[in-house]
Structure 1
């Protein structure tokens, strides 16, 4: 996410099947940076209220050569994280390379390759647009793959398949 554009994507994942619920992009019109952050937070809060997701996932900020820009991206990301956490959602964090590898099979995939693969996995008749929205859907799809090996949130216990895997590992 940035202060000018934050993609979102919501999918339903049940019985090993995924389907698109909604996706889009939050695009604040405000000129002041801080006002754009408030807009992003408010919009995400509204979306969470409308769709009532069970979990959240977000991409880690890619830190390039411009540390100042990375800091601003992290501030926008922070607004999204706070909106999710205030709603009580468990939040998973993924690197861009992890998301690309999970969805496109290549951690160096282009945004267009990821967009195409998202459309294929979700059996969409057209590519999800804009790219920020397809990126958000890719993060959600990555999370469906990765979350089967995580501890059940809110219950304080491991999923049975994880417990079985761990017990096999300990016996060896």
Structure 2
């Protein structure tokens, strides 16, 4: 399984390709490798539709070079600046079109879903996402741009969502530990029982 994650932007679009290694013939989501990552930077002075063509062409080139099986992308985010959100919507469209034209399935995730999948909380900062992406992928140093760490995070989020069955997901750490007491040391078990009293 090889996933292309994209963090769309009108001037800088981050991308990251993450591959899942196999263990006993099955994908192992604990063994993730960053195949490649970087940014697609367009000239701020270019006319907008020229920027879109450059982004489309570059995503198409990346797909043809690395042959990802799926594309995951951040959903549209509507902040205070409508014009900016409108432009990002166009960028998302050309990225999705590039994937569809290449026969790749497309999956979309909200910023909150991505942060929760990577950091464990939906309101994590960009610094926290960057730190966890580096740790999960075993990178020697953090990516230079948040656009890149966000793109890698989108790919990681999709891998987690795909390889972890719905029934195995937990709403929080307490629910997970309750279902898996074997992960608790004896001291921790005692402390949890005392809190319940």
- SS of the residue 2:60 aligns to: helix
Shift of 1:28: 1.0
Shift of 1:148: 2.4
**Which residue of 2 is the match for residue 125 of structure 1?**
140
**Which residue of 1 is the match for residue 93 of structure 2?**
78
Normalising to structure 2: TM-score of the pair? 0.74
Q: Distance in 2 between matches of 1:109 and 1:62?
A: 16
Q: CA RMSD in A?
A: 1.4
**Is the CA contact 1:11–1:21 (under 8 Å) kept in the aligned structure 2?**
yes
**Which residue of 2 is the match for residue 41 of structure 1?**
56
Shift of 1:46: 0.3
2:21 to 5, 14, 37: 14
- SS of the residue 2:156 aligns to: helix
Normalising to structure 1: TM-score of the pair? 0.84
- SS of the residue 1:34 aligns to: helix
Shift of 1:50: 0.3
Q: Distance in 2 between matches of 1:33 and 1:73?
A: 11
Q: Distance in 2 between matches of 1:2 and 1:18?
A: 25
Q: Distance in 2 between matches of 1:141 and 1:52?
A: 17
**Which residue of 1 is the match for residue 193 of structure 2?**
none
Pair member with larger Rg: 2
Shift of 1:83: 0.5
**Is the CA contact 1:3–1:40 (under 8 Å) kept in the aligned structure 2?**
no
**Which residue of 1 is the match for residue 183 of structure 2?**
none
Shift of 1:14: 2.6
**Which residue of 2 is the match for residue 169 of structure 1?**
none
Q: Distance in 1 between matches of 2:130 and 2:155?
A: 13
Q: Which of the pair is proportionally richer in strand?
A: 2
**Which residue of 2 is the match for residue 68 of structure 1?**
83
**Which residue of 2 is the match for residue 50 of structure 1?**
65
Shift of 1:66: 2.1
**Which residue of 2 is the match for residue 95 of structure 1?**
110
Alignment of 1:88-167 (within 5 A): 88-148=103-163
Shift of 1:24: 0.2
Shift of 1:21: 0.3
Q: Distance in 2 between matches of 1:12 and 1:47?
A: 14
